[in-house]
Amino acid sequence: MIGKHTEKDFDKYEYEEFYEHHHFEPISEKIFTKVNEFIPRFGWAFDQVEELAPKSVLDLGCLDGSFLLTCATQLGVSVVGVDLTKDGIEIARERARKLGLPALFYQGTIESWLEHFAKAGEKFDVVTFFECIEHVEDVQTVLKGIDKVLAPGGSVLVSTPSFESPIYGADDEQNKCHIRLYTTEREDYEKKNKFGNVRKATSIYKEIGADRIKEIGVHNELINLRYQ
């Protein structure tokens, strides 16, 4: 699956154009309904969803929908996915069709679909946001949009690269898609990376709100957290 753009071409001023045609490798046909067994962040999130026992899950930035299809097939959860990438949504829809699942996948911006769901009065027990918060232009607009569609008592699951990660953190200058990087420190801070360039770490506690975070940890280079 070859798209028009890769990370080196990223320009935040052409954000929607870039992600609409973004190149990515879809999850293999062999494992797309059991990604929890192979991909750590999905394993963590799947365990959370299983414990929370929601009726509905909304995945923002779902790519090919593999996490949702895993939840739908194994847990019987009603699932909805949103992504800007046309190829990802087409793959997700086709896989759901083959499985006979009533899963819904929408192509477009997270912001516009959150607004649509809110106006329609739709609510979701769990909202997932995997490795996406570091990409979006206006984080607070997205977080406020999530609040509008989160059911009472619902949970939001977030994963994002850690600033301190030796692989995906401050030293990673190849991935221009990361508009910002997050730290589990309580305050923002700056430091020079190994190339001598100053990078900023944004506090995930300040971004989300420390009082809302119920669980947080760093695993496999990613910050994983649940908030309500």
**How many angstroms separate the CA atoms of 128 and 159, rounded?**
9
Does residue 189 have a pLDDT over 50?
Answer: yes
Which pLDDT belongs to residue 146?
98
**How many angstroms separate the CA atoms of 145 and 72, rounded?**
24
**How many angstroms separate the CA atoms of 81 and 123, rounded?**
13
Which pLDDT belongs to residue 18?
53
Tell me whether residue 102 is exposed, middle or buried, using C-beta atoms within 10 angstroms of its C-beta: 0 to 12, 13 to 18, 19 or more: exposed
List Cβ neighbours of 152 (8 Å cut-off, separation of 6 or more): none
Mean pLDDT of the chain: 91
pLDDT in tens, 141-157: 999 999 999 999 999 99
**How many angstroms separate the CA atoms of 58 and 42, rounded?**
14
Q: Which two tokens stand for residue 73?
A: 């097939």
Which pLDDT belongs to residue 68?
98
Which pLDDT belongs to residue 168?
92
> Strands 56-60, 78-83: parallel, antiparallel or unpaired by DSSP?
parallel
Domains (range + CATH), the chain: 7-23+40-227 (3.40.50.150)
Which pLDDT belongs to residue 26?
87
Which pLDDT belongs to residue 25?
82
pTM of the predicted structure, to 2 decimals: 0.90
Which residue from 71, 61, 68, 55 is spatially nearest to 24, judged by alpha carbons? 61
Q: Which two tokens stand for residue 37?
A: 């067994």
Which pLDDT belongs to residue 155?
98
